[in-house]
Amino acid sequence: MTNKFSRRQFLKRSALAGIGITFIPNLLRGAANQVRVAHIGLGGMGNNHMNWFAGLPDVQIAALCDLDEDHLATTAKTLKTLRPELTFDTYGDFRRILERKDIDAITVATPDHWHAQIATLAFEAGKDVYGEKPLSYDIREGKMMLKSMNKNSRVFQLGTQIHAGDNYHRVVEIIKSGAIGKVHTVRLWKTGFSPGLGRPTVQTPPKTLNWDMWLGPAPYRDYFPERCHFTYRYFLDYSGGVFADFWCHIADVVWWAVQPKGLKSVVARGEKTDGVADAPKWLDADFEFDGLKLYWTSVAPDVPGAQGKGIGAYFEGDKGSLTCDYERRQININGETLTDLPNLAQTVERSPGHQQNFIDSVRSRKQPESNLGYAREMTLPMHLALASWRLNRKLEWNAGKEKVVKDKEAKALLAREYRKEWDLV
């Protein structure tokens, strides 16, 4: 297998296979009218993907892919038990899946540093994408994904499954109703530290793992298990620790309810871990938007309803406040503490389920609820906060031009260069 596989080669091969960018999805041609899905990345979250989509009546799982043969074999075994009637193929290289003209959509649950290239190549190959959070490794990648998705008329759903729950829908209704007035301050938090992971010694990668491909666009590094499955999230080459892991889940309700615009500046503080892991042990950040101040902390703030909650969002308006987590909410207005406003009508359409919403979008060609345009705006401040922490200075942001103001080092962090062999787009 050669690693060098450029976008041009890919398109050429796709075109030869008759799929190119004029690809007509299988679902439009009948084939029992099922959406044919392939799952890429089969660790913790990828197995959730497989289980969720296997349970949808109008989905046929056509392929599974992981560059770790053990993960691939385990998930294939589970799927065979779950859906014995299914025929599906297994792959170690996602590019073989993108070449197949009978696959309509993919899901991506690889580590963060692979999200953007896989999604972009999938768009080019005419596939829709259900991709995990965070949307991308950096800001440049988010832009690249959006451009490619629009150019190829694809749909994309970010894997923020909490978005589909009733609580976020209700919080959005309450905030948008004006019940707490105009929101001027938001506080988000997630408790818990990123671990340092000690000082592991370098090992030979297992024979069943394609380590070079796992590293992919990130710089080459020697292998030790802590750098790989699950704990990769505590290394800046691939992700951004607890902060980046949880940002999208809770920032989601804020971007939905108040749509922060006109970001002006970000300043982050934090601490390094005591081990080999270099993502922030904890990170706190202050964001200034047009008419809105937003704070992220690694401890619960001293506000009504926050005590004892490991993650949450607090909205402060000029008539009251609202605190929520994934499943609960507390409204404070007129000296009263409430969990709901019974007279407030339901105005936000409820979700059929996050994965079903994606499948419905594959059919209707309407963007799903947690679509790429939305996800990109919500994820961008997270990348800036990580860059501010890494550089230990405040970053000024020009929202109109989408550019960091006069800071070459920050600019470089927001648009990482790929390792040459794995620059596929």
Ligand X SMILES: NC(=O)c1ccc[n+]([C@@H]2O[C@H](COP(=O)([O-])OP(=O)(O)OC[C@H]3O[C@@H](n4cnc5c(N)ncnc54)[C@H](O)[C@@H]3O)[C@@H](O)[C@H]2O)c1
- Residues engaged in binding ligand X (CB under 6 A): 40-46, 65-68, 71, 94, 109-112, 114, 132-133, 159, 161, 213-214, 216, 229-230, 232, 245
Least Cβ distance, residue 407 to ligand X (angstroms): 27
Instruction: Name residue, tokens 């991308």.
Output: 136
Strands 336-338 and 329-333: antiparallel
Closest residue by beta carbon to ligand X: 43
Own/partner long-range contacts of 5-9 (Cβ < 8 Å, ≥24 apart): 5/95, 5/424, 6/424, 7/121, 7/124, 7/424, 7/425
Strands 336-338 and 35-40: unpaired
Secondary structure letter of residue 209 according to DSSP: B
189 contacts 297 by C-beta, under 8 angstroms: yes
C-beta of 237 vs 396, nearer to ligand X = 237
C-beta of 168 vs 397, nearer to ligand X = 168
C-beta of 46 vs 205, nearer to ligand X = 46
Cα distance between residue 197 and residue 281, in whole Å: 11
222 by Cβ neighbours in 10 Å (0-12 / 13-18 / 19+) ranks as: exposed
What does the block give as tokens for 418? Answer: 């790929």
What does the block give as tokens for 29? Answer: 């041609």
Least Cβ distance, residue 56 to ligand X (angstroms): 17
Cα distance between residue 66 and residue 54, in whole Å: 17
DSSP string computed for 83-124: -TT---EEES-HHHHHT-TT--EEEE-S-HHHHHHHHHHHHH
Cα distance between residue 37 and residue 104, in whole Å: 6
What does the block give as tokens for 74? Answer: 């385990």
Q: How far is CA 173 from the centre of its chain?
A: 24
Least Cβ distance, residue 91 to ligand X (angstroms): 8
Least Cβ distance, residue 67 to ligand X (angstroms): 5
Least Cβ distance, residue 231 to ligand X (angstroms): 8
